[in-house]
Amino acid sequence: MTVEGRATIVVLSYNRRVQLLSTLESLQKLPGNWPIIVVDNGSTDGTAAAVARRFPAIMLIRAQRNLGAAARNIGVAYAHTPYIAFSDDDTQWEPDALERAVDLLDRAPDVGVLSACIHVGPTRRLDPSCQTMAQSPLARDSLPGPQLLGFMAGACVMRTRAFYEVGGYWPPLFIGGEESLMALDMVEHGWRIVYAADVITRHFPSSVRDTTLRERLLIRNAIWVAWMRRPVRAAWRETLLRIRQAHSRRILWPILWQALVGMPRALRRRKVISPAVEKMQLLLDVAAADLSPRGPDHHPA
């Protein structure tokens, strides 16, 4: 079976015009006829105009404002393929990566997401998250790779049907661990998430990023997701862990305020995961605590 045209590349960008143009140049050179959709997240640096001028054949969607991760929902709505390959403006799929991903998904109908292997920078340093994913303690069963309970939002290939079944990205999370809610819901729906070591994407980290804001959002979102899906005891445990994390980084009060203000909206969507999925999450919580001194937000598994 030919894999050409069975996946659409959806690229999310915000105020990284030069880097996005470089990424699109690379993606257009990939072998195979892969449709590309760019969602410009309300950039103010001329990104949309530059893409339209240089890549007229690429579908460009201009969001009126920065929607964060939820802008990916718009891109998926315009895709007409069974699979979506998500990319950020600083990630580029390797040649043959999408062919491998499509083949794996075709042969594993219960897999909803493949989280890719990430090579960082010109030296191709392996992203630390890949080692964590490769060492996942979850049962592998007959899956084509280690089983996960998470994925890297800008470096994954997803079954379009699975994306729609869970409703895409929840807009209030904005960005920073935004995939954690989707991952829990996908597994709850019966989909599997796996790490695909031979599906490779390149990551060229941009210097244009607000690391402080992202750190705050990661912690806030982890608290919200815990109360949206985890049992009460586990939600309290996660909240206290994140409070200690915020305190050690001297960002406690802004995070507490943001988490509390948004908590009513999060609790209105509370739907506790099954004991089986909670058991998987507990295994990963223990593994994350054992493997990394940097904290659980670095563990997509």
User: 301: pLDDT confidence band, cut at 50, 70 and 90?
Assistant: low
Same domain, 172 and 254: no
Cβ of 239: how many Cβ atoms within 10 Å?
17
- CA 211/CA 213 separation, integer angstroms: 6
Residue 85 lies in a domain: yes
Answer with the one of 154, 187, 203 that is the final residue of a domain.
203
Same domain, 84 and 155: yes
Same domain, 58 and 106: yes
- Which candidate, 162, 149, 81, places its Cα nearest to that of 296? 149
Same domain, 88 and 130: yes
**pTM reported for the whole predicted model:** 0.93
Same domain, 101 and 174: yes
Residue 129: which CATH number?
3.90.550.10
Residue 2 lies in a domain: no
Residue 82 lies in a domain: yes
Same domain, 31 and 176: yes
Residue 224 lies in a domain: yes
Residue 101 lies in a domain: yes
**pLDDT digit string (tens) for 135-177?**
999 999 999 999 999 999 999 999 999 999 999 999 999 999 9
- CA 195/CA 6 separation, integer angstroms: 20
Total count of domains within the chain: 2
User: 299: pLDDT confidence band, cut at 50, 70 and 90?
Assistant: very low
Domain range enclosing 40: 7-203
Same domain, 178 and 257: no
Same domain, 219 and 157: no
**pLDDT digit string (tens) for 271-290?**
999 999 999 999 999 988 87
Report the chain's C-alpha Rg in angstroms. 18
Residue 1 lies in a domain: no
Residue 183 lies in a domain: yes
E strands present in 74-228: 83-88, 91-93, 111-120, 125-126, 147-148, 155-159, 192-203
Answer with the one of 203, 231, 259 that is the final residue of a domain.
203
Same domain, 105 and 221: no
- CA 233/CA 216 separation, integer angstroms: 23
Answer with the one of 203, 222, 255 that is the final residue of a domain.
203
3-state helix, strand, coil in the chain (%, to 5): 45, 20, 35
Same domain, 16 and 81: yes
Same domain, 237 and 91: no
The reported pLDDT for the residue numbered 288 is 85
Same domain, 59 and 151: yes
Residue 178 lies in a domain: yes
**pLDDT digit string (tens) for 29-46?**
999 889 999 999 999 999
**pLDDT digit string (tens) for 97-108?**
999 999 999 999
The reported pLDDT for the residue numbered 300 is 57
